[in-house]
Chains A and B, each alone.
Chain A
Amino acid sequence: MARRARFGRERIVSTLFSRRSWLRAAAGTLALPWLPSLSRGDEAASPPLRLVLFFHPNGTVGENLWPATTSETEFELPPILTPFSPYRDRLLLAQGINSTVAQDAKNRGGPHQRGMGGVFTGQMLLEGEFVDGCGSTAGWADGPSVDQVVAAHIGRDTAFSSLELGVRATIQDVQGRISYLASGAPLPCISDPVALYERLFFRDLSLDPSDPNSKARAVLDSSKDQLALLQKRVGAEDRLTLDHHLSLVEDLERRMQAQATTCEALSAPAQLEVDSESTMPDISRNHLDLLAHGLSCDLTRVASVQYSTGFNQIRFPWLDEEGEGHALSHAGDSSTEAWAAMTNRVRWHAEEIAYFMGKLAAMPEGDGSVLDNTVVLWASEISRGNSHSLNDIPYVLLGNARGAIKTGRSLSYDGASSCDYLHAVLAAFGIDVPSFGHPDHAQGILSGILS
């Protein structure tokens, strides 16, 4: 394989902000936990809250996900959720959340497209040229996703606004993106844990606020000035493009100026083939290890982990011999073998999430653990593969947001809008917005979620 160019720490840049290395020498621990003294001053000395989205494609097996219960608090964990047994009290299930926006007649595209675009944005799709498997066309989603809204509020000064990780997320159109910075501005994910590793620990992030003439600052200023020059010379639509570019540069600059975080590097993960069906479990674990570490030292407070994409065609050879995922999800209702295999596959994702939560639980923070300050939200773009149903979207929430969410319950709704459910998640992070998602489908914070 070609030698990867390493940027950042190994570069000899004489005016590099040197305080960072001082902090590194002083730290001495493998992962510097969040300390009150490193607070960015935007919150009282309590640890930051985090949000991590998890995604798996092609729906779930409802009968093995939703507890059969009439009691909110007394229920057995169905097969898909048993990996969360240690975390029962953090669990919130809500059956009956529908992606009404994806089912709106005014929306465009096929079900996988609408589902993917809407699962975390609550938005319809723009016009566009992405063609799905049946010939429907659509563009990107028309608004930001919940993780990006949270990042804009609680992650303004972390090294990374958010991290988007992918495990075999190889489709590069609306069926392959779940996180959106804004309307029509999806965020690509990092597929290779080695690339994630390099990004977390080898990025040259320093911009010493006390050195106005550092090379990094001079180059940044120059690039902003060049953008401003070019903007005067292009048409209106292109000016928007350059505006978007400029705002990203300004965001990067602000993060570079924020107080340096010391995060000691883990050992590098092995280089694996990222699009192979046999490496998926290892890729997943490598990603999750790095993400847990990154959250614990506050490199970011928001992340998403995307397992494959809507309409994926991947197999799970370490679990079963049942063929590729999309076809499997289209098995007839009477195919018990197919649905058992599907249940196993969905459950595998739950195991990965539980593994991740275990890593966070083992990291002390404040008077608890990093897990106590993390909210996990897991979903799929549809609820059932063979009908492409967009009702009963399998949102699974884990984490009470320091008491803001009333967890340890299994709720049942009668066709509530996913926009309002996601709005409740935002409220749990103390984010006060009038609505979330498409206005035709947003009635306000869904009752029953928050404490």
Chain B
Amino acid sequence: MQTPKLSSLLPKPAASRGILDGRALTQPLVNSTLIRRFLRQITVTFLTRQIQQARSGRTAVSPGGGAGPRGRRACVSPSTWCALGGLGLLGASLLGCGSPEQRAAPPADHVGTVPAPARLRLLTRSEYQRTVSDLLGSSLDVTRDFPPEPVVSGFSNNAESHQMNPLLLEQLRGAALALADEATQRGFDALAPCASDEEQASCARVQIQAFATRAFRRPVLQDELDLLFRLYDRAAAALSPSQALGAVIESVLVAPQFLYRVEAPAAAVQDDHVQLGPYELASRLSYFLTGSMPDPELLGAADSGALLDRVELESQARRLLGTVHAPSRVREFHAQWLGLDRLNGIARDGAPADMNSALLESVQRYLDDVFWSETSSVQDLYAAPQLFLNETLAPLYAGTAPVSGWTRLENPEQRAGLLLQPALLALLAHPDQSAPVKRGVFVRDAILCAPVAAPPPTVNNTPPDPDPSMTTRERFAVHTADVTCSKCHSLIDPMGFGFEAYDQLGRYRTTENGISVDATGAVVDLAEEALNGPFDGATQLALRVADSQTALDCLGQKWFTFALGRSFTVQDRPSLNQAVDQARAAGGSLQELLVALTTTDAFQWRAAHDLDGSAL
């Protein structure tokens, strides 16, 4: 971390500072509270660092992303920093590192979202893996046998349902052991190198504070630090200093402050909403866009409080999208949104060996191509005629000479966008036939956010026996003929039938069982009128979806769910509208959608509640 330049910490001119811009026009332009806060933080940060640098005789702060400069004195504890800032409760205030009066009150004309309460969020497997890789520089695959998370609405990072269980606890302990061991053997210089004249015990304390700060994703509180120091001393009595440090690392890796993302209640706020503190925002940002801990630059923006500025936060979001973990995080979203991991277990008649993994890669490459392109638009997502094929897939879907390696096929016949990617069509099928119901349900639910309501409870819904001399469409006609079934199936089946020209492998066909395929379909009863009506062939449907408002709005809801670890609700509508409008204004850009989500109230604010859980 560089020595902070004083000028960069001064409040920016009012015109460009988010907190004082358009949304807060009814407040006095010079907000004395905010200026006071900034001045306090600048002074404390600056002076503390000056003092410590003078003492240690260094001008540069240690590398490795440590929390602050080392000095012969223990680093000024965050409690002191914030006490200097005139704060009340140690713990709660620190976790946001802002006193009640330091947090901004919601601007008077903010968009009207009712923010949800925040809650502890246990790191998922992939988040844990990326985090320990960033924290320790380890490449050990430690999450392989972690139990899978529960899946809610297709997403496996649902905060409420992902809870500790005995198997996971054991696995985490084993992972901590292995990682701490590896770090011990590698040495701790990366955490914070000690001066050659530094004595071991105080150096260890510095290293522990630096490590715990990064691991907890915020300055460590004094009592938390004391526990770690005590552990070190206890372990050092029986083990070598290096092994004792290893014990502390192990303990940090199983500490709840590491395993859970904590958004603490704010005490005594003025309103029933409170903005997340800078460290909380940093974690939300980084886990959303990279699936890992905040990097040094993001933590620096949190340290200085700059992250509370809307412009700064948006710029950090854009920056994070360009970092190393973002592509795998985006892939993770696509896999969960579309249920792509189920491709692993499918069996389809006529499938070549290795088809499953090839299909998964094929659709992921398609999605990557659309998402990371310059235009990155929702229209391309649903309409771009491209396939990514390798040796296994080319014979099935391109019928041309065998290719070698992954090849992009432009304008393949009978393809348009995501809905006609072979991977999806094969996933939404039965082992030996197409599945119009699965396909219809999928489009309504995953793509258009218009799931069919539950059927009324019936005691006996025995279907009639199937007739193998019919086409799928003919066999399914009973769904719409029978009054019990038709309520839902009249919404689902017509859409699904439009995909009948694609078999259980997603190959295009013109006949089934010798009978001509009828790929006419209809969209029924959607809120956006322009979507409703008959169509001939799924390509027409895809293009209609690509041009719709609903598609981007629904995708926004899905990203929202993934970003916040909870389902989208009607309370979130104002925030979503804001984000979708922003994306639409940028040509339906998918990347812009993500950035826009981070600037919404739903992302930056939460309902305030007291320590005893009562809403304020």
A129, A131, A221, A388: the one contacting B461 at CB < 8 Å is A388
| Bound form: Cα–Cα A276–B251 in Å | 38
Say how far B91's CB is from chain A's closest CB, in angstroms. 4
B166, B237, B612: the one contacting A252 at CB < 8 Å is B166
Say how far B328's CB is from chain A's closest CB, in angstroms. 15
Given contacts A135-B454, A188-B147, A188-B167, contact A332 B464 (CB under 8 A): yes
Interface residue? A222 (CB, 8 A): yes
Q: Of A234-242, A350-358, A363-371, which stretch is located at the interface?
A: A234-242
Given contacts A187-B167, A245-B164, contact A110 B256 (CB under 8 A): no
Say how far A175's CB is from chain B's closest CB, in angstroms. 10
Chain B residues near A190: list those with CB within 8 A.
Answer: 145, 147, 167
Instruction: Name the residue of chain A whose CB is nearest to the CB of B138.
Output: A5
Given contacts A7-B174, A134-B488, A218-B234, contact A233 B451 (CB under 8 A): no
**Is there contact, CB below 8 Å, between B141 and A4?**
yes
Q: Of A59-67, A195-203, A395-403, A429-437, which stretch is located at the interface?
A: A195-203
**Is there contact, CB below 8 Å, between B167 and A164?**
yes
Chain B residues near A287: list those with CB within 8 A.
Answer: none
Chain A residues near B228: list those with CB within 8 A.
Answer: 222
**Is there contact, CB below 8 Å, between B251 and A222?**
yes
Chain B residues near A331: list those with CB within 8 A.
Answer: 465
| Bound form: Cα–Cα A245–B142 in Å | 21
Chain B residues near A204: list those with CB within 8 A.
Answer: 174, 177
Instruction: Tell me the B595-609 residues at the A interface (CB within 8 Å).
Output: 609
Interface residue? A14 (CB, 8 A): yes
**Is there contact, CB below 8 Å, between A173 and B95?**
no
**Is there contact, CB below 8 Å, between B347 and A315?**
yes
**Is there contact, CB below 8 Å, between B153 and A131?**
yes
| Bound form: Cα–Cα A164–B92 in Å | 39
Say how far B12's CB is from chain A's closest CB, in angstroms. 32
Chain A residues near B150: list those with CB within 8 A.
Answer: 130, 172-173, 186
Q: Please count the residue pairs between chain A and chain B whose beta carbons lie under 8 angstroms apart in the complex.
A: 230
Chain B residues near A219: list those with CB within 8 A.
Answer: 231, 247, 250-251, 254
**Is there contact, CB below 8 Å, between B611 and A235?**
yes
Interface residue? A227 (CB, 8 A): yes
Chain B residues near A189: list those with CB within 8 A.
Answer: 147
Count of A residues near B, CB < 8 Å? 90
Say how far A258's CB is from chain B's closest CB, in angstroms. 15
Interface residue? B14 (CB, 8 A): no
Task: Kindly supply a per-residue 1/0 record for chain B positions 133-149, scoring 1 wherever the CB is within 8 Å of any chain A CB and 0 otherwise.
Answer: 00000001110110111
Interface residue? A137 (CB, 8 A): yes
| Bound form: Cα–Cα A252–B254 in Å | 13
Task: Kindly supply a per-residue 1/0 record for chain B positions 33-48, scoring 1 wherever the CB is within 8 Å of any chain A CB and 0 otherwise.
Answer: 0000000000000000
Chain A residues near B344: list those with CB within 8 A.
Answer: 275
Instruction: Tell me the B405-436 residues at the A interface (CB within 8 Å).
Output: 430-432
Q: Is the interface of A mostly helix, strand, loop or mixed?
A: loop
Instruction: Tell me the B290-343 residues at the A interface (CB within 8 Å).
Output: 342
Task: Kindly supply a per-residue 1/0 record for chain B positions 463-476, scoring 1 wherever the CB is within 8 Å of any chain A CB and 0 otherwise.
Answer: 11100000000000
Interface residue? A324 (CB, 8 A): yes
**Is there contact, CB below 8 Å, between A11 and B177?**
yes
**Is there contact, CB below 8 Å, between B454 and A134?**
yes
Chain B residues near A275: list those with CB within 8 A.
Answer: 344-345
Given contacts A2-B144, A276-B345, contact A222 B227 (CB under 8 A): yes
Chain B residues near A6: list those with CB within 8 A.
Answer: 178
Given contacts A135-B488, A192-B145, A213-B238, contact A129 B612 (CB under 8 A): no
Task: Kindly supply a per-residue 1/0 record for chain B positions 433-448, scoring 1 wherever the CB is within 8 Å of any chain A CB and 0 otherwise.
Answer: 0000000000000000
Say how far B243's CB is from chain A's closest CB, in angstroms. 7
Instruction: Name the residue of chain A whose CB is nearest to the CB of B259.
Output: A245
**Is there contact, CB below 8 Å, between A387 and B460?**
yes
A137, A249, A252, A277: the one contacting B454 at CB < 8 Å is A137
Interface residue? A15 (CB, 8 A): yes
Interface residue? B32 (CB, 8 A): no
Chain A residues near B612: list those with CB within 8 A.
Answer: 235-236
**Is there contact, CB below 8 Å, between A235 and B256?**
no
Q: Which of B145, B158, B239 has the most CB of A within 10 A?
A: B145
Interface residue? B573 (CB, 8 A): no
Say how far A211's CB is from chain B's closest CB, in angstroms. 9
Chain A residues near B92: list those with CB within 8 A.
Answer: 233
A181, A195, A215: the one contacting B239 at CB < 8 Å is A215
Chain A residues near B530: list those with CB within 8 A.
Answer: none
Interface residue? B189 (CB, 8 A): no
Q: Which of A168, A232, A241 has the most CB of B within 10 A?
A: A241
Chain B residues near A225: list those with CB within 8 A.
Answer: 227
**Is there contact, CB below 8 Å, between B453 and A135?**
yes
| Bound form: Cα–Cα A218–B249 in Å | 12
Given contacts A213-B234, A234-B264, A237-B613, contact A245 B462 (CB under 8 A): no
Instruction: Name the residue of chain A whose CB is nearest to the CB of B247.
Output: A215
Interface residue? A257 (CB, 8 A): no
Say how far B78's CB is from chain A's closest CB, in angstroms. 14
**Is there contact, CB below 8 Å, between B251 and A223?**
yes
Q: Which of A2, A7, A203 has the most CB of B within 10 A?
A: A7
B148, B231, B260, B611: the one contacting A188 at CB < 8 Å is B148
Interface size class of B (residues with CB under 8 A): 35 or more
Instruction: Name the residue of chain B whose CB is nearest to the CB of A132.
Output: B454
Say how far B482's CB is from chain A's closest CB, in angstroms. 13
Interface residue? A251 (CB, 8 A): yes
| Bound form: Cα–Cα A212–B406 in Å | 58
Instruction: Tell me the B222-249 residues at the A interface (CB within 8 Å).
Output: 223-224, 227-228, 230-231, 234-235, 237-239, 243, 247
Say how far B383's CB is from chain A's closest CB, in angstroms. 28
**Is there contact, CB below 8 Å, between A172 and B454?**
no
Given contacts A225-B227, A234-B120, A315-B347, contact A161 B91 (CB under 8 A): no
**Is there contact, CB below 8 Å, between A323 and B430?**
yes
Given contacts A4-B141, A229-B224, A234-B264, contact A199 B170 (CB under 8 A): yes
Chain A residues near B613: list those with CB within 8 A.
Answer: 235-237
Say how far B481's CB is from chain A's closest CB, in angstroms. 16
Interface residue? A267 (CB, 8 A): no
| Bound form: Cα–Cα A234–B256 in Å | 12
Say how far A173's CB is from chain B's closest CB, in angstroms. 6
**Is there contact, CB below 8 Å, between A134 and B455?**
yes
Given contacts A218-B231, A252-B169, contact A330 B463 (CB under 8 A): yes
| Bound form: Cα–Cα A80–B151 in Å | 34
**Is there contact, CB below 8 Å, between A136 and B454?**
yes
Instruction: Name the residue of chain A whose CB is nearest to the CB of B140.
Output: A5
A192, A241, A317: the one contacting B163 at CB < 8 Å is A241
Chain A residues near B455: list those with CB within 8 A.
Answer: 134-135
Instruction: Name the residue of chain A whose CB is nearest to the CB of B89.
Output: A233
Instruction: Name the residue of chain B whose CB is nearest to the CB of A227.
Output: B256
Interface residue? B152 (CB, 8 A): yes
Instruction: Name the residue of chain A whose CB is nearest to the CB of B94.
Output: A233
Interface residue? A340 (CB, 8 A): no
Chain B residues near A386: list those with CB within 8 A.
Answer: 462-463
Interface residues of A (CB under 8 A from B): 2-8, 11-15, 110, 128-131, 134-137, 140, 160-161, 164, 168, 170-173, 181, 185-190, 192, 195, 198-199, 203-204, 213-215, 218-219, 221-223, 225-227, 229-230, 232-238, 241-242, 244-245, 248-249, 251-252, 275-277, 313-315, 317, 323-324, 327, 330-335, 386-388
Given contacts A128-B152, A187-B165, A233-B92, 17 further A-B contacts (CB under 8 A): A5-B178, A13-B177, A160-B166, A181-B166, A190-B147, A190-B167, A213-B235, A222-B230, A234-B265, A235-B612, A237-B613, A241-B163, A242-B120, A245-B169, A251-B166, A315-B347, A331-B465
Show 9 residue pairs from A and B whose CB-CB distance is below 8 angstroms, ordered by the A residue.
A135-B454, A170-B345, A171-B151, A187-B166, A222-B255, A233-B95, A252-B169, A324-B431, A331-B465
Interface residues of B (CB under 8 A from A): 91-92, 95, 117, 119-120, 140-142, 144-145, 147-153, 156, 158, 161, 163-170, 173-175, 177-178, 181, 221, 223-224, 227-228, 230-231, 234-235, 237-239, 243, 247, 250-251, 254-257, 260, 262, 264-265, 342, 344-345, 347, 430-432, 451-455, 459-465, 488, 567, 609-613
